[in-house]
Amino acid sequence: MKKNFLPAIKLTLLSLILLMGIYPIMLFAIAQLSPNKGESQMLNANGKAYYKHIGQSFTSDHYFWSRPSAVNYNAAGSGASNKAVSNPDYIKEIEERIQDFLKRNPTVNQSEIPVELITASGSGLDPHLSVAALEVQVPRIAKLRNLNAEQVVELIHSHIEKPLFGFLGPEKVHVLELNLALDELKPLK
């Protein structure tokens, strides 16, 4: 027993020092090198403050919609629904989202709806969408805001964020920033 007990105590103490001391200090030091020193970034617009890296709920037809959230955009409860694609409740939820999208975007065929507009992300908080998921919403936005469709497409393209290092990940657009820019281009009355 003495033969196993002392190594276990040593390993426990070493783990405590590494995981509760050195590792957190290293992460804190790395965060201090980041642009915002590890603090959350805020966007201020129209007298409101928004967290930049947390998805916001946009369901008005006058705005680009966000990706659905399984946690209702609550950062305290980040996570997915964990429902399997064969789950009847999940299938019903997806079908309802498809029908709602088609009803509010009558110029779009069901096969043209990007999957990210009808399914929630793993975190439930994604602030970005693909260019395709935004372009499919252009006819609705242009009509309701009385804008030319080319203006709306140009606005989307001016907000594209390139992949990390030019090749890691897809091109994407921050939905909150895009909607704020849309309000600047053509404010709602």
Instruction: Read off the amino acid at residue 151.
Output: Q
Contact present, 81 and 70 (Cβ < 8 Å):
yes
Q: Based on the fold, state whether residues 105 and 48 are members of the same structural domain.
A: yes
81: tokens are 């629904």
Q: Based on the fold, state whether residues 27 and 47 are members of the same structural domain.
A: no
DSSP state of 52: T
Whole-number mean pLDDT of the chain?
A: 90
* Residue 119: partners with Cβ closer than 8 Å, 6 or more residues away: 67, 68, 94
73: tokens are 């955009």
Q: Based on the fold, state whether residues 155 and 145 are members of the same structural domain.
A: yes
Q: Based on the fold, state whether residues 71 and 156 are members of the same structural domain.
A: yes
Nearest to 13 by CA among 22, 26, 2, 24: 22
Q: Based on the fold, state whether residues 25 and 46 are members of the same structural domain.
A: no
148 vs 43: which has the higher pLDDT: 148
**Residue 73 — very low, low, confident or very high, per pLDDT cuts 50/70/90?**
confident
**Residue 82 — very low, low, confident or very high, per pLDDT cuts 50/70/90?**
confident
Q: Based on the fold, state whether residues 70 and 129 are members of the same structural domain.
A: yes
Q: Based on the fold, state whether residues 47 and 34 are members of the same structural domain.
A: no
Question: SS3 helix, strand, coil % of the chain, rounded to 5?
Answer: 50, 10, 45
The tally of domains found in the chain comes to: 2
* Residue 162: partners with Cβ closer than 8 Å, 6 or more residues away: 171
Contact present, 173 and 128 (Cβ < 8 Å):
yes
Q: Based on the fold, state whether residues 59 and 2 are members of the same structural domain.
A: no
Q: Based on the fold, state whether residues 132 and 171 are members of the same structural domain.
A: yes
Q: Based on the fold, state whether residues 49 and 17 are members of the same structural domain.
A: no
For residue 45, what are the domain limits?
Answer: 41-185
For the stretch 32-65, pLDDT in tens is 988 778 777 888 888 888 888 888 888 899 999 9
State the Cα–Cα distance between residues 8 and 108, nearest whole angstrom: 63
Q: Based on the fold, state whether residues 97 and 60 are members of the same structural domain.
A: yes
Q: Based on the fold, state whether residues 57 and 132 are members of the same structural domain.
A: yes
pTM exceeds cut of 0.75 = yes
